[in-house]
Structure 1
């Protein structure tokens, strides 16, 4: 908790530093200092949580990736913005022709930052889900200060705080298991894993122990070949972990169906019925919106949507 408080303070300080130097048009975010000639008039945005926050504040992007935009972002499925590349691979030629004032990247596109620096200032606004709420507030306030949307941001953040408090009041003393599923494979996520932020976010207690952070300098482990002894051993280990989680009889199982991303074809519940381990569970199942949780992530509007899902799912 002490570490998270320190991180939260650093994020807030970064936003305040930008506010103090706005007249010089220096945007400071974590280790990044972005020099802007003026308040950006043309935005290129490749991080969907950032696009979601901008959209919630009434700020439109002019250049976006060519992808499907779900829920609150569906306005971008029309022709209101130029499509330039993908979420992973921005189109350098189109971006150069569009001449944006600021390019916002994130998790899927952040590796392209150096490639795009020559076109326009680049901001890496990848969400930090280990510190989801303070990070959301800091990222929102960064845009609010840049575009003069402080009042709108404060109002929306207050709504989120109120909804999170309501959710945590509902979940007090309750346990949960977060399951990421894809094509019949059910993978538990504990705190410290990709979707393990759901526990602190919701107030639910994980039935699995915390997973320590990975060593960023450790070499990548190759995926074992299907049917190999290594693959069979990995599956046995995964089944044992799932068995242990189900045996703990969590009050809720939150299910994120990867196969439904961009397709809205949810098969997780049918696959659940075929799984002998999961059939032992007496938990209430909360099937969350795959696009919201997997594709968009913690933007200003989408975070409220995610809270609404969990509030509804945990109502007594």
Structure 2
């Protein structure tokens, strides 16, 4: 008993208050993590996006966060490497209470775990379901359950609104351009939630749920002839050069589709879909853009 009291007194005197662990869901299953970590390093843009929406500002972030709206809130955070290559020396110097990886940085989970506690919050193709789960987890972890519940309610309302607008509006094809190359994505893919969560039928239901999509041609788009074409410009998302999505799709075969003829080619905010996909504000941005297009 005396030892316990002495330990507590010393901890309080040094300013270190031991937090109770909380069990949260992660991409690798349930994990027990100390609640309310004060110093957090984040190597996933979707996680960063959701944490900022909850009012949690990380102490360490990648050198490049890609989306301009994310850069200012973390301008003073320590730079701890990139999404693909963490700087373990910088991370160790930061000495975070918790490190979050996900998606592109998930393969570095074991490496960053050598520095301290880490969790993998990768977003799977079940993007909306995973976002709800991440909001609940972060709400518990950072003692922000009420804020997480409010964001979840707003998300659900927006999804319902977009689903309502999408009813009876025809089929869609989701394409990603990478300079002159074009890939298509269907249900079960990283962008397939646009079909499954929003109730928008696929113009071509036999696409494979591959990470990099199915390579397609202009002839394929013309043959499928979708009512809507939802476009993601990878080059714009990562700041690469080369032909833009608009330039790539400026083609007579695409121009002859129902989507083009009716003004239904929608160029989605590429950073929100491709880089921060599954982040709260990113997903809300996409939903708002989808609803505006469907209403218009």
TM range (shorter): 0.7 to 0.9
Return the TM-score normalized by structure 2: 0.83
Corresponding residue to 2:50 among 50, 53, 60: 53
Q: Which runs of 5+ in 2 are unaligned?
A: 1-18
Q: CA deviation at 1:194?
A: 3.2
What is the aligned length? 270
Q: CA deviation at 1:61?
A: 0.2
Query: What CA distance in whole angstroms lies between the structure 1 residues aligned with 2:86 and 2:72?
Result: 20
Partner of 2:71: 74
Q: Please list, as runs of the form range in 1=range in 2, the aligned pairs for 1:38-187 lying within 5 A after superposition.
A: 38-76=35-73, 78=75, 80-129=76-125, 131-173=126-168, 174-187=170-183
- Asked if the contact 2:173–2:185 (Cα under 8 Å) also holds between the matched residues in 1, the reply is yes
SS at match of 2:114: coil
Structure 1 vs Structure 2 CA RMSD: 2.4
Partner of 1:255: 231
SS at match of 1:136: helix
Corresponding residue to 2:253 among 274, 277, 285: 277
- Asked if the contact 2:27–2:122 (Cα under 8 Å) also holds between the matched residues in 1, the reply is no
Query: What CA distance in whole angstroms lies between the structure 1 residues aligned with 2:141 and 2:190?
Result: 30
Query: What CA distance in whole angstroms lies between the structure 1 residues aligned with 2:117 and 2:222?
Result: 48
Query: What CA distance in whole angstroms lies between the structure 1 residues aligned with 2:208 and 2:132?
Result: 25
Partner of 1:225: none
- Asked if the contact 1:43–1:61 (Cα under 8 Å) also holds between the matched residues in 2, the reply is yes
Q: Please list, as runs of the form range in 1=range in 2, the aligned pairs for 1:11-26 lying within 5 A after superposition.
A: 23-26=20-23
Q: CA deviation at 1:213?
A: 5.2
Q: CA deviation at 1:183?
A: 1.1
- Asked if the contact 1:192–1:210 (Cα under 8 Å) also holds between the matched residues in 2, the reply is no
Query: What CA distance in whole angstroms lies between the structure 2 residues aligned with 1:161 and 1:59?
Result: 22
